Amino acid sequence: MVLALPFVVVIVGWHGLSHWFNAFQGGDEPIHYGIVRVVAHQWPRPWLSGYGAWSGPLVYWLLATLARPLGGSLVAVRLVVCAFSWGTCAVAYVLFRDRLQARPPDALALALLLAISPFFFGQSFHVLTDNPTWFFVVLGLERSLAYVRRPSLARLAAFAACLAAATLMRQVTLWLLAPGLVALLSVPLPRRRRIAGLCLLALALVPLAALLVYWGGPLPPAPGAAAAQTPLAAVHRTRNLLLSLGVVGAYAVLMLPAGEIATWWRRLRHERAWLAVLALPAAAAAGLLVLGVLGTITSFLGLVSRVPFPHLAGSSLLWWVLIPLGSAAVAGLLATRLSDVRSRLLMSALLGVLLSAMTNVRWFERYVDFPVLLAFAGLALVAGATLGRIDRERWLLTGLISIASFLWFV
């Protein structure tokens, strides 16, 4: 009920979602709602290609199916997306409390933080494809962590079903396979059961593989749907990775326990080799800056750039501070956390998200923001350092920034 409050406030405030308000990429809603209407008209047959969007067909079929009892109107589909959003946060609460053994107040605080995060909350009230996909991603992570605690084929099968659903909604969520493999390989099992588990995970990829064969590529065939391949495509993909590391740097500062960060700082002072993890991303960022391919970054952190702050190539200098911080955070986590199976599973998800950002020529922070925040919320709970008052105050600061960004756009 507490997790539902932010959603109820907006639903009531916007007259049952009958009014439109600005949100990150909310302008795409007419395209997605138009597809849902066509799918509803030809229900139960799905629309597999030619619908002019990059998302997979399952998300439109699900939205059309669940909105039918409510009349299938725009408001009905918005309410279905909102229900998916609330369900995502409810599952995240269970994940934090039961799978990561967090205190219920901490689990609730982090689930609320996910709910009001800038690239999740606004999209909860529009016909967009992100939040329904995140529901299956979070449920899949919860099932993989449950499998680590008590291995059973039923739990792994549930994870496989979530993986299949997520990849049929957003193909790029194939990175969810990484934590599934880590979970399967991290628990002692007889050889026959391990092979059966690998077969389950392979079976989960069959629907996506069939869809890719049917499409003839990673995107549904439609005019303008395929991203143009340019001589600088590889450079842009590197840019995507660097910008995603900037998101990692922001959430590492805001979410990781202060005690753990202090330990890393002391280690950096005594082991100069750690400075090497800062050099590569800094040099790559400088190289892209010289090439002039960075362009203007449109994102939540871009809003911070409206505050007077030095700019380079149209982008806030804040990014070029956060990129090496993100690289250092990833290196620090890999160096200190891999002995714990829960951290190992969350780190595999985080690395999968970062690598998935390179599959697109274009980059939007909404592609990586929510799963990165989810990973760092989990990593904060399973850290060796004890959570203190300063850590919870930083979570509160993150929530206030998220609400401010939502109100800014509204």
Domain extents in the chain:
1-226, 229-410
Question: Which of 289, 188, 317, 291 is CA-nearest to residue 230?
Answer: 291
pLDDT of the residue at 282 = 66
Q: What is the pLDDT of residue 289?
A: 59
Higher local confidence (pLDDT), 402 or 251? 251
Q: Given pLDDT bands bounded at 50, 70 and 90, which one contains residue 364?
A: confident
- As a whole number, the mean pLDDT across the chain is 86
Q: How far apart are CA 403 and CA 409, in angstroms?
A: 10
Say whether pLDDT at 41 is over 80: yes
Judge whether residue 409 has pLDDT over 60: no
Choose the weakest-confidence range: 58-67, 128-137, 304-313: 304-313
Report which of residues 24 and 248 the model is more confident about: 248
How confident is the model at residue 67, as a pLDDT? 96
pLDDT at 260: 86
- Which pLDDT band holds residue 27 (cuts at 50, 70, 90)? confident
Instruction: Return the pLDDT at 238.
Output: 78
Residue 405 has pLDDT above 50, yes or no: yes
pLDDT at 371 over 70: yes
Q: What is the pTM of this model?
A: 0.91
Q: Give pLDDT tens digits for 309-360.
A: 666 656 667 777 788 888 888 888 988 889 999 999 999 999 999 999 988 8
Indicate whether 71 pLDDT > 60: yes
Residue 44 has pLDDT above 60, yes or no: yes
pLDDT of residue 314: 60
Does 277 score more than 70 pLDDT? Answer: no
Cβ-based neighbours of 241, under 8 Å, separated by 6 or more: 354, 355, 357, 358
For residue 311, the model assigns a pLDDT of 65
Tell me the average pLDDT across 214-241. 68
Q: Confidence band (pLDDT; 50, 70, 90) for 365?
A: confident
- The per-residue pLDDT for 225 is 43
Residue 136: CB atoms within 10 A of its CB come to 28
| Average pLDDT over every residue of 164-188 | 95
Beta bridge partners of 312: 315
pLDDT value for 46: 92
Q: How far does CA 297 lie from the centroid of its chain?
A: 18
At 42 the pLDDT is 94
**Residue 303 binned pLDDT confidence (cut-offs 50, 70, 90):** low
Higher-pLDDT residue of 269 and 131 is 131
121 vs 24: CA distance, rounded Å: 10
Give the lowest-confidence range in 17-31, 137-151, 309-323. Answer: 309-323
**What's the pLDDT band for 388 if we cut at 50, 70, 90?**
confident
Q: Which pLDDT belongs to residue 359?
A: 87
pLDDT digits 0-9 by tens, 180-226: 999 999 999 999 999 999 999 999 999 999 999 999 988 888 644 44
Q: What is the pLDDT of residues 111-120, one digit of tens each?
A: 999 999 888 9
Say yes or no to pLDDT of 294 above 60. Answer: no
pLDDT of 248 over the 70 cut: yes
Is the pLDDT at 293 greater than 70? The verdict is no
C-alpha to C-alpha distance for 340 and 345, rounded to whole angstroms: 9
Q: Is the pLDDT of residue 285 over 70?
A: no
